[in-house]
Amino acid sequence: MSQIRKTTTIEEIEVPPREPLISLAEIITAAGWIAFQGTKLAAKAAVAGTVLAYRGGRALADAIQESRKRTTLRDVTQIVASAGSARDALASLAASPALAVPQRESRALAARLGTLVARNDKSGVEAVARELLTGRQNRLQAQLLGLVAESCRAIGFIPLELNAQHGIVAANREGTRQALNIEVAKAKDGGVQIHFDAEGFADGACVQTLDALHEELRKRGVRYALHESRRKPNRPIRIGQPMRVRCAN
């Protein structure tokens, strides 16, 4: 018997990005559109490792906790719709650390945001936020593909193919029929899911192998929650083909 597991990443992977990133909060703060209310609050935010936009007497702990939640495309739409202006929408969106760009793109983004604020263009702000989430999704997928390939090697499997277009890593154990097909899938909400498919195993070895693979990924900072697990009869693996198990949204 073989095993299929579907998971959802729920935390930021704890590895350095491939290039320096600058957050939306840092961009709009540097531009002077949004200011912290009090130097002590700004100092606490810096120590916490995040830049947030605060209103009124909102508690710092609550703000930081909220910022750690994964922002979805639906969240972006709701935040912008509830904001009174483009400036207010940016202030609320800045609480999400997921909204960031490579440093080399920050000047162009700052100029674009300045135009949107001047025009009070809320729909334009939403479009920018959605683009930033899509960019994060692409970066996360690329990083996870590399980490999955490393983890497969660590448990004795040889990656046969790393298909960035479909987000697939296919690997096998030399001299056996054991094979792993792992898909790093882009979810419709702007997040990323990982699907694990084990083939050619017997007597529960697939479960042990997948557990070992999960442990290797955790060592590399990947955190996720299991969404579904099921056993299935053996069938030939099709290397390089998109997996038939898809995201559950």
pLDDT digits 0-9 by tens, 125-165: 999 999 999 999 998 898 899 999 999 999 999 998 777 77
Query: According to the model, what pLDDT value does residue 205 have?
Result: 87
**Which residue type, as a one-letter code, is found at position 225?**
A
Contact 182, 200 (CB under 8 A): no
| Pairwise CA distance, residues 74 & 52, whole Å | 20
Domains and CATH numbers, the chain: 2-14+139-232 (3.30.310.180), 21-137 (no CATH)
Amino acid (1-letter code) at residue 68: R
| Helix, strand or coil, per DSSP, at residue 99 | coil
- Closest to 225 (Cα-Cα) out of 5, 7, 4, 6: 7
Tokens of 20: 């320096």
Q: Specify the amino acid at residue 91.
A: A
Q: Is the pTM of this model over 0.85?
A: no
Nearest to residue 228, comparing CAs of 201, 200, 194, 180?
A: 194
Convert the pLDDT of each residue in 75-132 to its tens digit.
999 999 999 999 999 999 998 888 999 999 999 999 999 999 999 999 999 999 999 9
Is-contact 237 178, C-beta < 8 A?
no
